[in-house]
Structure 1
């Protein structure tokens, strides 16, 4: 039955493409989480009412975030070719997609981090300040723990966006399911390959969503 539905699908090739997609997604999610968290903290802490209130720093950070959020991902990949080649030594393959994925995803996640931090109870922050807590204590013992469920939900949403980005990156030779669907499915008019790649991507999205929701619920019950 499988061969009748997907006559042009080779399981070995699909496993390789799926592994490449998972590699790009997992590494880029980790990088996006770190860079996005830093940018989001800067936006929040340097903004109005923040403990580092600094208009210049807030403006620069917001400008960087807004500019990179505004650039379509396919164009961002092309713009970053020289940087990617310098950093990775190549502009093709899963590794070459990582800089664009992280730089494209981090600004999006930074805004979600900023929103999550703004939802932290101001009373808790004031209590920490009145007790003479240091900035590092406020950040790592109050802000981040209190906003962790929202931060996890945010990175889950971002991870799903990054899965879509990996498919786009595949069109220009980054590998993964997007690459396979385009070069071995669409260009050869083997639409069963395109359909099977789509099914696999949807399954990956559901897995990431389930994991993210599970972790978020666990943190929210603490």
Structure 2
């Protein structure tokens, strides 16, 4: 009888231990899952999104910023990015090197190659040596600008159909910021527009970047203004 009680006590005690371990595992899962769900890792950086987008599962992960509801609610009325399709992308080449030069095969265009409304004095403009080509690339004279812009004209060549602004993300040279601008204003009418887009994209990315603030990652969504570069990890 005594040995039976001991055995029974051991069984009961083991069941209690197992039950408490299961409870602990559940608690850890509950506490950890919001952090996993709210943030994503891209290269060396961690971004607070409130969800894990399906685009992060692609061969080359990226964040389609405007597809996240709470960010879209802010950017849909943003004076700079409201007409932009913004991505934060992982790239396997140096972002700084990518934006510093034109595309392969392009040549420097003179002012006679483009209508005056497409010329910008602060940029070198490159394009195909083929005169009838409808695409060209703006590269800022300022090497610290950290962006370049690829534009395509509409079929009537009177206006621009699309421009894509590619910008560096200083905390990580393997992350590139892109903004697709459909039917943008003529460059001569908005000479600072491309630079404003690049700088605003960086500001949004800085605000989403919680790499060095992980203990705060479970807080409310970050405000998407007033953010500065964070130190590299």
Q: What's the TM-score, normalizing by structure 2?
A: 0.26
- Larger helix fraction of residues: 1
Larger Rg: 2
Q: What's the TM-score, normalizing by structure 1?
A: 0.27
Larger RCO (alpha carbons 8 Å, 6+ apart):
1
- Larger strand fraction of residues: 2
